[in-house]
Amino acid sequence: MTKPTALILCTGNSCRSHLAEGILRAAAGDMLDVQSAGSKPAGYVHPLAIKVMAEIGIDIAGHRSKHLNEFLNQPIETVITVCGNADQACPIFPGQVNRHHWGFYDPAHAEGSDEEKLEVFRRVRDEIRRVFEAYAAGRKDQLKAK
């Protein structure tokens, strides 16, 4: 049996969705196939996103920015949007059972010194981590109850 796919969407697929993908993949283990994409992909993963994830032991350096159209012909069990624009632009995917929207500030808009920008990335990472680790724990509890 194949693992259900959770697709995390944001507009640019450069920061928030990659933070969430890395965290959910680590928290869910082999329970879910976790992917991310964007409605208007930036074409890169933000270097500060890679850096703050490495600080917590999660390597997203190999991630790439993808368009959500890459997933339209795949069975997606759960769609999670992490920004308002992606929530509004989100299509219905084949086999989609669950849909969640948890909006987070876009750290790519952070201003100030490099250290100030890094602090914003860390704050958003930690917010995403709390939500997605709780989500993974809930999914694990559901499986145990079955």
Q: How many whole angstroms separate alpha carbon 141 and alpha carbon 124?
A: 26
The catalytic residue among 7, 8, 60, 90 is: 90
DSSP string, 78-117: EEEE-SHHHHHHPPPPTT--EEEE-----GGG--SSHHHH
Taking the CA atoms of 137, 5, 81 and 112 in sequence, report the sign of the dihedral they define.
positive
The catalytic residue among 83, 86, 128, 131 is: 83
Q: What are phi and psi of 82, to 5 degrees?
A: -120, 10
The catalytic residue among 10, 27, 37, 52 is: 10
| 15 catalytically annotated | no
Active site residues: 10, 83, 90
